[in-house]
Amino acid sequence: MKILVPVKRVVDYNVKVRVAADGSGVETQGLKMSLNPFDEIAVEEAIRLREKGVVTEVVVVTIGVQAAQDILRTSMAMGADRAILVKTDDTLEPRAVANALKAVVEREQPGLVCMGKQAIDDDMNATGQILAAKLGWPQGTFASAVTIADGRIEVAREIDGGTEVVSLALPAVVTADLRLNEPRYASLPNIMKARKKPLETLEAADLGVDLASRLTIVSVAEPTERKEGIKLGSAAELVEKLKTEAKVI
């Protein structure tokens, strides 16, 4: 079985972004970019499934600018077998990304799509679900454990009050939560090897799918700053302030 792992290049999670002065978006120029942390977990899970022998090939795909090939190389250095870059200079919404991914799925015919539960830039948490709907496949979102057997995948899902387990017929879409695994670091020899692995480039416009945006960004603003707080000397003083000044207890 082949597994397809969609990945996204995002501003590194340690970087605090700034809103552009004209309110048109956030400044991403010159910032450190990385593989979205949830996608890193998805890549790791795909590699572990191959190591267990349930998956034969791990294919990573991203939709984005030419420079996004760096995260495909990172994924291949972790152990993915080959990569596809669907090139576009436009910023695509989850619906459009799902349309592009659906075209890639139809071409590659994977038995499973494994991806991150959300990207840490737009915080949408939607692409996996939309893709599953468009393919007519079942979905296992916010996965913290997966087991594949007899043409089905059992997915433990993180829900509000605890954990839920569902059993899905393959092919299916699974989205990775933080707890699914601890991604490995790519070793130097593997980084060198990844340079020679196949990376195919497709033009998004050539896929023949609808990539239009349905949302218009009216403006982007900084959240309101909190006013500076004060430091107190003792717990007793704190309780006093909470009672008389803040009036919360």
Partner 1 sequence: MTALVLLEVENGEVRQASRSALTAAARFGDVDAIVFGEGASAAAALPGVKRVLSVPALATDLAEPAADLLASIAKDYSHIVASASASGKNILPRLAGLLDVQPVPDVVEIKDAETFVRPIYAGNALATVRSADSIKVLTIRSSSFDPAPKDGGSAAIETLEAPTSEKSVFVKVELSASDRPELESARVVISGGKGMKDAANFKLLEPIADKLNAAIGASRSAVDSGFAPNEMQVGQTGKIVAPELYIAVGLSGAIQHLAGMKDSRVIVAINTDPEAPIFRVADYGIVGDLFEVLPALEKAL
By CB under 8 A, the residues from 71 to 130 that bind partner 1 are 93-95, 98, 118, 120-130
Determine the Cα–Cα distance for residues 51 and 47; give it in Å rounded to an integer: 6
Minimum CB distance to partner 1, residue 207 (Å): 16
Determine the Cα–Cα distance for residues 46 and 48; give it in Å rounded to an integer: 5
Per CB under 8 A, which region of 83-91, 187-195, 196-204, 216-224 contacts partner 1?
A: 216-224
Minimum CB distance to partner 1, residue 155 (Å): 9
Number of residues in contact with partner 1 under rule CB under 8 A? 79
Minimum CB distance to partner 1, residue 134 (Å): 5
Minimum CB distance to partner 1, residue 103 (Å): 15
- Name which of 120 and 199 has its Cβ closer to partner 1: 120
Minimum CB distance to partner 1, residue 208 (Å): 16
Q: Beta-carbon neighbour count of residue 41 at 10 Å?
A: 24
Tell me which of 62, 75, 139, 181 binds partner 1, using CB under 8 A: 139
Q: Is residue 214 a contact point for partner 1 (CB under 8 A)? A: yes
| 195: exposed, middle or buried (Cβ count in 10 Å: 0-12, 13-18, 19+) | exposed
Determine the Cα–Cα distance for residues 78 and 194; give it in Å rounded to an integer: 8
Tell me which of 167, 190, 193, 197 binds partner 1, using CB under 8 A: 167
Minimum CB distance to partner 1, residue 33 (Å): 13
Determine the Cα–Cα distance for residues 143 and 49; give it in Å rounded to an integer: 14
Q: Looking only at residues 26 through 55 of this chain, which bind partner 1 when binding is defined by CB under 8 A?
A: 26, 38
Q: Which residue has the tokens 């899970």?
A: 45
Determine the Cα–Cα distance for residues 75 and 65; give it in Å rounded to an integer: 17
Q: How far is CA 122 from CA 34, 79, 202, in A?
A: 14, 27, 24
| 78: exposed, middle or buried (Cβ count in 10 Å: 0-12, 13-18, 19+) | buried
- Name which of 64 and 138 has its Cβ closer to partner 1: 138
Bridge partner residues of 191 (DSSP): none
Encoded one letter per residue, x for contact with partner 1 by CB under 8 A and - for no contact, window 230-249 reads xxxxxxx-xx-xx---x-xx
Per CB under 8 A, which region of 55-63, 81-89, 164-172, 187-195 contacts partner 1?
A: 164-172
Q: Is residue 12 a contact point for partner 1 (CB under 8 A)? A: no
